[in-house]
Chain A
């Protein structure tokens, strides 16, 4: 039961350009969404989050957009840097807490210099 889907397993972008990573969800009870970044041999690290009462949250080069009607969110990275190359996981939780997060399968981003 894939409640959170990341349909693009990989994405390649030139340094300096925008990276757009997409995520879709099916459970309308989800009210909090997170993006995690994972380097090889390390655990995921929290990147940015958004509550369902907002449609945009920005933190430096990272912006997350939420479209509740479409059950879709996206992560924009601009400008992209080679150090951004990693696997990005979208996650969602319901009920105002993150005790039970559902993760997507991840998108591997490669930023080419």
Chain B
């Protein structure tokens, strides 16, 4: 497909487990963003990549959260030792450059993480 895809769509983890969430951006898109959306809230920025470079990780809530995009396309968000407060929908978005206000971010469907 031509859009942003994310896998898995749903993930249930026991507290303390590590999880890895995958994002496939639109082909050729330079910028990639991760957001966390808690129930009843809007998306909250986690981190941003331009190609393989992680330019902003100010939104990552703790050092248990780690994101990578080693080849500048697919990205993985990893959460170590998951806690119940990590339960949320994790959204990935990509844009062609991400540098200008008119550069639209296209969102994937999200991964719903539930930590028991």
A27 interface residue (CB < 8 Å to B): no
Number of interface residues of A (CB under 8 A): 28
Chain A residue with the shortest CB-CB distance to B41 = A105
Q: What chain B residues lie within 8 Å of A44 (beta carbons)?
A: 43, 91, 107
Q: What chain A residues lie within 8 Å of B110 (beta carbons)?
A: 43
Cβ-defined contact, B99 with A43, below 8 A: no
Q: How far is the CA of A100 from the CA of B84 in the complex (A)?
A: 26
Q: Which of A9, A31, A36, A51 has the most CB of B within 10 A?
A: A36
Chain A residue with the shortest CB-CB distance to B6 = A43
Q: How far is the CA of A102 from the CA of B58 in the complex (A)?
A: 13
Cβ-defined contact, B100 with A97, below 8 A: yes
Q: Which of B4, B43, B106, B108 has the most CB of A within 10 A?
A: B43
Is the contact region of chain B dominated by helix, strand, or loop, or is it mixed? Answer: loop
- Chain B, interface size category, equals 20 to 34
Q: How far is the CA of A105 from the CA of B58 in the complex (A)?
A: 20
With known contacts A99-B98, A105-B42, A46–B104 Cβ distance under 8 A: yes
B66 interface residue (CB < 8 Å to A): no
Q: Which of A36, A43, A103 has the most CB of B within 10 A?
A: A43
Q: What chain B residues lie within 8 Å of A105 (beta carbons)?
A: 40-42
Indicate with 1 or 0, residue by residue over B38-62, a CB within 8 angstroms of chain A CB atoms: 0011111100100000011011000
Q: How far is the CA of A79 from the CA of B109 in the complex (A)?
A: 28
Cβ-defined contact, B42 with A100, below 8 A: no
Indicate with 1 or 0, residue by residue over B83-108, a CB within 8 angstroms of chain A CB atoms: 00000000101010011111111111
**23 chain-A/chain-B pairs, Cβ below 8 angstroms:** A4-B42, A9-B40, A36-B107, A42-B109, A43-B108, A45-B107, A46-B105, A49-B102, A51-B101, A89-B43, A96-B100, A96-B101, A98-B101, A98-B105, A99-B31, A99-B33, A99-B98, A99-B99, A100-B48, A100-B58, A102-B45, A104-B42, A106-B42
